[in-house]
Structure 1
Amino acid sequence: MKCLIISDSHGSEDELQEVIERHRSTVDAIFHCGDSELKHSSPILHDTYPVQGNVDIPGEFPEDRAEDVKGTRVYITHGHLYNIKMTHVPLSYRAEEKGARMALFGHSHVPTAFEDNGVIFVNPGSLMQPRSRPEQTYALAFFEANGEAQIRFLERKSGEELIDLRQSFPANE
């Protein structure tokens, strides 16, 4: 399974569309972790799984969702309702409730990937307003048939991988 993970594009339609089109034909799913500032009817979000961010139009998207992609359960939320800037624990509980192997979130604009209790947590950073580093980022997640996973972070303009952020995770036992 391979998926594209985007967050915090903050109304930047051309940039968002460019990243989606760059990867659309090579991924199994496209997730937007909120703060797109677009309407649900936007053609840019066609065939994607968006969630509601704290600056999105209220009620435009679901607050969270769980999707099964090629046998991998993915939980998606923006993170603001889980106090994600302070701790990942409430999000961890929710991901466990949903039976997720991967939990996707945004809100902090900081790209990160880590594993806790068998769940891989991924924040792709911000497509337009980065914090903690200068690059505007998004992520690709790869899950092998044996359950091993790799998260790669890419720079928005070039699509080049930021090697220092790459994370690999063994299969769950």
Structure 2
Amino acid sequence: MKIIVMSDSHGDKETVKAVSLQPGDGYFHCGDSELVFTDPVFSEMHKVRGNCDFDNHFPRQSLVTVGNKKVLTVHGHEHGVKESLTRIYYSAKENNADIVLFGHSHLYGTEMIDGVLFVNPGSTMQPRGGRKPTYAVVEWGETAAVTFKDMDHNVVDSITFKNF
């Protein structure tokens, strides 16, 4: 199973288009697209509302199954992700999620907690901390691998979880 994850594109439709052309089994935007919910660029994408999205048609969260994994997507601003993963961890457990996707901090990162994979793809438009704009590729088979790529689709960072 392979999913493509982006967040915090802040009005840049071209990066959303470019990332969504990457091969995958599911496509996710973790909010702050600043586009309308019905924009054709989102035609095959699961998407949620961020704190900078003003179209009320965006859901606050999305829970879908890709392959045999339940994927919970939120923006993160309502879960305090800049402080800790505690609140989003409890949401994951309440929803029986295997993977949690979120944005908001504009910093990429991943962590496996109690068998749940948490992924922040960073920002495709306004990264923080001197980092490059990034999106994430999550592959889950015998291992769980998360690869962060820049807008030229080059690997910036990656991590593989073997015991989950």
Given the two structures, how large is their TM-score scaled by the length of structure 1?
A: 0.92
Amino acid in the other structure paired with 2:134: T
One-letter amino acid of the counterpart of residue 12, structure 1: D
Aligned: 1:159 with 2:156: no
1:89-128 → structure 2 map (5 Å cutoff)? 89-128=86-125
SS at 1:93 equivalent: helix
Secondary structure of 1:27's counterpart equals coil
| Aligned positions of 1:70-149 closer than 5 A | 70-144=67-141, 146=142, 148-149=143-144
Query: Which string of whole-angstrom CA distances, capped at 9 and with x for unpartnered residues, describes residues 124-163 of structure 1?
Result: 000000012330000000011x3x210000001x11011x
1:58-77 matches, within 5 Å, as 58-77=55-74
| Separation in 2, partners of 1:124, 1:139 | 5
What residue ranges of structure 1 are gaps of 5+ in the alignment? none
Residue by residue over 1:78-108, the C-alpha shift from the partner in whole angstroms, topping out at 9 and shown as x without a partner, is: 0000011011100000011111111000000
Q: Shift of the alpha carbon at 1:29?
A: 0.3
Relative to total residues, which structure has the larger helix share, 1 or 2?
A: 1
> 1:42 maps to which residue?
39
Identify the residue that residue 51 of structure 1 maps to in structure 2: 48
**CA gap 1:73/1:171 in 2 versus in 1, 3 angstroms:** farther
How many residues get paired?
164
More strand by share: 2
Q: What amino acid is aligned across from residue 18 of structure 2 in structure 1?
A: E
Contact 2:48–2:75 (8 Å) recurs in 1: yes
Q: Distance in 1 between matches of 2:72 and 2:163?
A: 18
State the Cα RMSD in Å. Answer: 1.0
Percent identical pairs in the alignment equals: 35
Point out 4+ residue stretches in structure 1 off by more than 2 angstroms.
none
Q: 1:31 aligns with which of 21, 28, 32?
A: 28
1:11: which partner in 2?
11
Q: Structure 2: any 5+ residue segments left out of the alignment?
A: none
